[in-house]
Chains A and B, each alone.
Chain A
Amino acid sequence: MSVQITTLEELTSPSRAASSSLSIQEYFLNMGPQHPIAHGSLRLLLVLDGEIVREVIPVPGFVHRGIEKMCEHLTCRQIVHLTDRMDYLSALSNNWCLSRTVERAAGIETNERIETVRTIVAELQRVQSHALWWGVLGMDLGALTPFLYAFRDREIISTAFEETIGARLTMNYIQPGGLMFDIHPGFVARVKEVLAHMRPILDEYDALLSGNVILQERLRNVGVLPAEKALAMGCTGPVLRGSGVALDLRKAEPYGVYEKAAFDVVVGTVGDCVRMEEMRQSLGIVEQLIDSIPAGPHMTVKPAAKIKLPAGMHYGQIETPRGILGTLIVSDGKSDKPWRVHFRTPNYNNLWAVTAIAPGCKIADIIAIQASLDLVIPDIDR
């Protein structure tokens, strides 16, 4: 039986470089947890040969709070606020994934109003999240202006959320059984303002950054991920769709009211940044749904009700702006606290693609690759 446990020190020891087959000695460069482009706290160990990167060793764990262990001591409703804090840029989608899993397991029915509002806010958050990705992409590559543009538009969407949901970032809004609060009377008007504002803004984004020849030269043919490798490395979301695989859970296993809205799945050919077009599709979905939110209660179970899950494993998936988030809840059927909760997070599975596409790139390309993967580090670490 050959189970060998290694440590990071063994991997980075000098004797490893001496025994490598290269005649030139490779050296380690640490892009440590404190770094302007770290997107959080991720440590990347680069094995360099001059300027060319031979290997990338990501070392996560700098924001590992042990959420899965904490969930074993909380009721299902209390876990929702922890899901916000995993991938905070798509907090509503995270809430929805947990709520949907719990509802399917416990047999709780929701109504049309709840599902429509959930779809609308989740798509608005998708636009918000991709806008931040766009701004940070520019900032990482040295263009600081798009960052300000992105945050100007994020504020407009945040204000619309704050009026109804009460929070700007960690929402805790989509609960098992419905929504935390009913929508504000001015919600529809605000969302229409957002739509009217964002449509021409997306063309401005293209004119400013994504259509810029300098940016395109920096990104073209850098870190191309072929389709089979993307599938085998567990990538989902825009990373996978950019490689040419048309997997979008909103079409493959529809939830919410996505079946009622007509939209396209955006697929790239050689790792194009599909997020720009996805923003337009999301705006289209919200436009189709905003005028016809049906009437009804915003919560189908009493807020104080104890939700007991039947014994067994329950798994639910959602398409977040970064990929497929899955929640596995294992319940022993006796208490209202789960026995084990596991989150299949999109960022943990997308991260390791960098080890496959980085070798052969230069250091500056690593930054472009990390920016285009759109990782949120607390989602990796949970």
Chain B
Amino acid sequence: MGVVLDKLPGLLEKIPGGGILVAPIDAVINWARLSSLWPLAFGTKCCAIEMLMATGGPHQDLSRFGVEVVRPSPRQADLMVVAGAIVKKTALRMRLLYEQMAEPRYVIATGSCAISGGPFMYNSYTIVRGVDQIVPVDVYVPGCPPRPEAFFWGLLMLQKMIRQGESIRRPGIRRKPVLAALPAGVTVQDIQERMRAPLEEQNVVDVAGAAAEKPWAKKVRQWVKKH
């Protein structure tokens, strides 16, 4: 995760009282990351018009969230916005692009095609039913296509996840925020008490491990070797 950040927690533990510094350093690093996400525009279909082009337009302005520099090259991007259906031919290239992005890297799956295959789920012989079969996804934004405002909601959720869920102590492990609508008569404290232990277990994701386990990781190695 970078030479400096890898060694930093170890160094800090050696200094007496150095453990206190980890939290402010986390806060600064996470703030820097979430405020300057550079998307890789991986738009294949209709969602690309709404999610990538219309959100960049003047009515819904994407750059106010810091997501200004849309890069076509994965080497310069850290957020992959998957907008559109992925078919088997594209899945190999997409996996390669994901592997070429530098860590920490984030994936937002927008539109129902990227979440589960969408309208093409049944009777299509080429579609990949859900981008999470190829790469680990951080945020799902449903819709067909989602409104730009829905995309911003997903983006803000991703930013919250970066702010609260990562630490230099455990690089590559991300905690996802939990959002729920409360039924009447229930307060947030009740839920937090009852759900604390199960959520801790389920809601922590080892992204690098999840990325390596995807079936397309092996397929892409074979394809690259062949070509």
> In the complex, are there CB atoms of A and B closer than 8 Å?
yes
Residue of B nearest to A150 (CB): B57
Chain B proximity of A133: nearest CB distance (Å): 12
Q: Which 6 A-B pairs have the closest CB atoms?
A: A151-B57, A88-B46, A36-B72, A155-B59, A70-B123, A62-B90
Is the CB–CB distance between A85 and B147 below 8 Å?
no
How far apart sit A362 and B124, CA to CA, in the bound complex (Å)?
39
Known: A70-B122, A169-B145. Is A63-B46 also a contact (CB below 8 A)?
no
**B199 to chain A: closest CB distance in Å?**
36
| B144 contacts across to A, CB distance below 8 A | 170
CB-CB under 8 A from A154, the residues of chain B are: 54, 57
Kindly state the separation between the CA atoms of A154 and B48 in the bound complex, as whole angstroms.
15
Q: Is the CB of B90 within 8 A of A41?
A: yes
Q: Which of B17-25, B81-89, B206-214 contacts A (4 or more CB under 8 A)?
A: B81-89
Interchain CB contact under 8 A, A148 and B57: yes
Q: Nearest Cβ in chain B — how far from A66, in angstroms?
A: 5
B97 at the interface (CB under 8 A from A): yes
Question: Is B66 in the interface zone, CB < 8 Å from A?
Answer: no
Are B58 and A151 touching (Cβ within 8 A)?
Answer: yes
A229 at the interface (CB under 8 A from B): no
Q: Which residues in A have their C-beta under 8 angstroms from that of B85?
A: 63, 65
Q: Are B56 and A151 in contact (CB under 8 A)?
A: yes
Are the C-beta atoms of B58 and A148 separated by less than 8 Å?
Answer: yes
Instruction: Give the chain A neighbours of B59 by CB distance below 8 A.
Output: 151-152, 155
Partner of B44, one of A63, A66, A151: A63
**A63 contacts across to B, CB distance below 8 A:** 44-45, 84-85, 87, 90
Quote the shortest CB–CB distance from A17 to chain B (angstroms).
17
Whether the pair A70, B120 counts as a contact (CB closer than 8 A) is yes
The answer to whether A169 touches B49, judged by C-beta atoms less than 8 angstroms apart, is yes
Q: Is B126 an interface residue (CB 8 A)?
A: yes
**Closest beta carbon of chain B to A162's beta carbon, Å:** 9
With the chains together, A152 CA to B58 CA distance in Å?
Answer: 6
Which of A35, A36, A81 is most buried by chain B, counting CB atoms within 10 A of its CB?
A36
The CA of A73 and the CA of B124, in the complex, are separated in Å by 11
Cα(A154)–Cα(B147), bound, Å: 14
Size class of the A contact interface (CB-based, 8 Å)? 35 or more
A-B contact pairs, 8 of them (CB 8 A): A61-B87, A64-B87, A64-B89, A70-B123, A88-B45, A132-B49, A154-B54, A168-B54
Does B53 reach chain A (CB closer than 8 Å)? yes
B125 part of interface (Cβ distance < 8 Å): yes
Which residues of the other chain, B, contact A40 by a CB distance below 8 angstroms? 43-45, 48
CB <8 Å contact, A73 and B87: no
* In the bound complex, CA of A288 to CA of B56 (Å): 34
**Contact between A70 and B145, CB atoms less than 8 A apart:** no
A-B contacts at CB below 8 angstroms, number: 103
Interface residues of A (CB under 8 A from B): 32-36, 40-41, 61-67, 69-70, 72-73, 81-82, 84-85, 88-89, 132, 147-148, 151-152, 154-155, 168-170, 377-378
- Does B49 contact A89, Cβ atoms closer than 8 Å? yes
Residues on the B chain within 8 Å of A84, using CB: 46
Query: CB-CB < 8 A to A377: which residues of B?
Result: 44
| Complex alpha-carbon distance, A132 and B41, angstroms | 18
Chain B: residues with CB nearer than 8 A to chain A?
41-46, 48-50, 53-54, 56-59, 72, 74, 84-85, 87, 89-90, 93, 97, 119-120, 122-127, 144-145, 147
Q: How far is the CB of B36 from chain A (nearest CB, A)?
A: 20
Query: Of residues B119, B124, B145, which shows the largest number of chain A Cβ atoms within 10 Å of its Cβ?
Result: B119
Q: Are B127 and A34 in contact (CB under 8 A)?
A: no
A248 to B47, CA, bound (A): 30
> In the assembly, what is the distance between CA of A65 and CA of B117, in Å?
10
Q: A62 with B127: in contact, given A35-B72, A152-B59, A155-B54 (CB under 8 Å)? A: no
A35: chain B residues within 8 A (beta carbon): 72
A145 → chain B closest CB, angstroms? 11
Q: When the two chains form their complex, are residues B49 and A65 in contact, meaning their CB atoms are under 8 A apart?
A: no
A65 touching B87 by the CB < 8 A rule? Answer: yes
Is A73's CB under 8 angstroms from B122's CB? yes
Indicate if the CB atoms of B50 and A73 lie closer than 8 Å. no
**Chain A residues, Cβ within 8 Å of B120:** 65-67, 70
- Flag if A82 contacts B125 (CB, 8 Å): no
Q: Within 8 Å CB of B87, what residues of A? A: 61-65
Measured between beta carbons, the chain B residues less than 8 angstroms from A89 are 49
User: CA A32 – CA B120 in complex, angstroms?
Assistant: 24
Query: With A65-B120, A66-B124, A85-B46 known to touch, is A34 a contact of B93 (CB < 8 Å)?
Result: yes
Question: Which chain B residue shows the least CB distance to A40?
Answer: B44
Which residues from A are CB-within-8-Å of B53? 132, 147, 151
| Residue from A67, A82, A168 in contact with B50 in the complex, judged by beta carbons closer than 8 Å | A168
